């Protein structure tokens, strides 16, 4: 079969003009590296305009478009209440495709409770049949995410699980957690947990500040997250376990992680949800449940510190924290409404519109935080003997503009503050 040639493309990270040929059936494509990023199925790359294209070949003119590796999301929930599991998998895969995401780490939920081998096997079969994106399950830390009895980590590891998480559930059983970390460390598994002290955050609904005071809502103190992060780091250090801190939302949380890394702690990584870089507690306004998240949206100073953490590498990943909620649930009063936003459909365009275009992040920083680092954390490999995680390519058109409407959302729900707004950038994915 004739190869596909991309001409006049701009490599997003450096701005270099590139032409490339992608292997089709019958070819033996090899992994190539651009700026140390392994790219999937590419046979050759040359400076733009120098490639000799045989007559009759398929050519894609990428003039004005950016060539880049597709993204990997390290934190997504895919369960949609009222939909079948297969429908949730299908819709999430389509949303990921639109948002420039080739793969994701799926958090456990009641409908996808990855605490046993049969559930993992069933999920893998459904993903193979229904999803346009790669979906890697995070095994539960405790049975049923109840925080009491640890799951059989050896069984989960045998099914390919590398990361353990109870999603938004944080246990207050420190003894069990410490013992579980020691066991997981022997298997090389990573614990993915958010910082929290449940006794401080029970029956709280948003960040304590001027908005919570005006609305009469109990605030979730920042110190609960920060004490939780400090505790998790100390436990992981003592247990010799790898630790990934989920959805950091406070400036002091960033500082704690930075200090631990500067002191040489191995196996420590962290993430920030995109919405914690874009919004503050003031966006809640008059009880707008769209902005109810876990952890809650914080102050502008926290947003700035989180962004600085991404730029200096303290925060390794930017994630969607994609959390589908049906319209009825979000139309309840603020106290009763569930937490979370959906973000997969709009992931790369939102990053470009709100972070790259205004100059807050560079393309190189985004690729590191949204592709390279999360993929390496989700699927670790032996640097000497293993094969690196290889991302497919996509083309991104920075000149495309579109309004986010119900018709542009594939994920199955509409709980996003971007609804009705205009984003810039269109994704073509995958190219190989």
Query: Angle between the 174-187 and 222-239 helix axes, to the nearest 10 degrees?
Result: 50
Peptide linkage before 295 cis (omega within 30 of 0): yes
Q: Extract the tokens encoding 370.
A: 């949204």
Q: Which of 321, 333, 345, 397 is catalytic?
A: 321
Q: Which among 170, 212, 215 has a CA at the least distance from the CA of 191?
A: 170
Residue 186 CA to residue 156 CA, distance in Å, equals: 14
Any alpha helices (H) in 249-299, and if so which ranges? 251-262, 274-278
Residue 424 CA to residue 304 CA, distance in Å, equals: 23
Q: How many residues does the chain have?
A: 432
Q: Are 133 and 430 in contact (CB under 8 A)?
A: no
Q: Are 297 and 341 in contact (CB under 8 A)?
A: no
Give the SS3 label for residue 153.
helix
Question: Is 321 a known active-site residue?
Answer: yes
End-to-end CA distance of the chain: give it in Å, rounded.
14
| Residue 130 C-beta-side C-alpha neighbours within 13 Å | 18
Residue 279 CA to residue 263 CA, distance in Å, equals: 31
Q: Are 165 and 192 in contact (CB under 8 A)?
A: yes
- Contact residues for 52 (Cβ-Cβ < 8 A; gap 6+): none
Active site residues: 321
């Amino acid at each position: 079969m004739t190869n596909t040639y991309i001409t006049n493309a701009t490599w997003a990270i450096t701005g270099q003009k590139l032409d490339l040929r992608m292997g089709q059936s019958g070819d033996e494509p090899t992994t190539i590296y651009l700026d140390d990023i392994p790219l999937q199925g590419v046979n050759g790359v040359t400076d733009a305009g120098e490639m000799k294209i045989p007559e009759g070949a398929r050519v894609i003119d990428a003039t004005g478009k950016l060539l880049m590796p597709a993204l990997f999301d390290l934190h997504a929930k895919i369960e949609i209440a009222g939909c079948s599991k297969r429908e949730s998998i299908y819709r999430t895969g389509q949303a990921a495709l639109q948002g420039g995401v080739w793969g994701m780490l799926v958090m456990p939920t009641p409908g996808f409770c990855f605490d046993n081998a049969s559930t993992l096997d069933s999920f893998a079969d459904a993903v193979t049949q229904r999803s346009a994106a790669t979906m890697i399950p995070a095994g539960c830390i405790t049975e049923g995410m109840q925080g009491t009895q640890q799951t059989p980590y050896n069984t989960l590891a045998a099914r390919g699980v590398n990361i353990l998480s109870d999603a938004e559930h944080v246990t207050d059983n420190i003894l069990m957690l410490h013992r579980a970390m020691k066991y997981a460390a022997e298997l090389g598994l990573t614990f993915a947990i958010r910082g929290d002290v449940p006794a401080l955050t029970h029956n709280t609904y948003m960040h304590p500040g001027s908005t919570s005071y005006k609305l009469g809502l109990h605030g979730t103190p920042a110190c609960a997250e920060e004490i939780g992060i400090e505790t998790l780091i100390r436990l992981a250090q003592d247990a010799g376990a790898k630790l990934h801190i989920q959805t950091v939302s406070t400036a002091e949380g960033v500082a704690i992680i930075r200090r631990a890394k500067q002191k040489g702690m191995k196996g420590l990584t962290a993430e920030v949800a995109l919405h914690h870089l874009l919004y503050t507690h003031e966006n809640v306004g008059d009880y707008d449940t769209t902005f109810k998240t876990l952890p809650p949206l914080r102050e502008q100073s926290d947003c700035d510190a989180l962004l600085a953490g991404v730029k200096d590498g303290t925060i390794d990943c930017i994630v969607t924290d994609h959390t589908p909620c049906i319209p009825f649930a979000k139309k309840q009063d603020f106290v009763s409404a569930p937490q979370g936003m959906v973000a997969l459909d709009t992931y790369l365009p939102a990053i470009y519109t709100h972070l790259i275009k205004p100059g807050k992040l560079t393309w190189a920083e985004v690729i590191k935080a949204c592709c390279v680092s999360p993929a390496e954390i989700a699927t670790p490999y032996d640097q000497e003997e293993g094969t690196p995680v290889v991302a497919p390519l996509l083309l991104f058109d920075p000149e495309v503009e579109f309004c986010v409407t119900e018709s542009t959302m594939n994920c199955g729900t509409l709980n996003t503050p971007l609804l009705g707004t205009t984003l810039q950038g269109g994704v073509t994915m995958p190219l190989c």
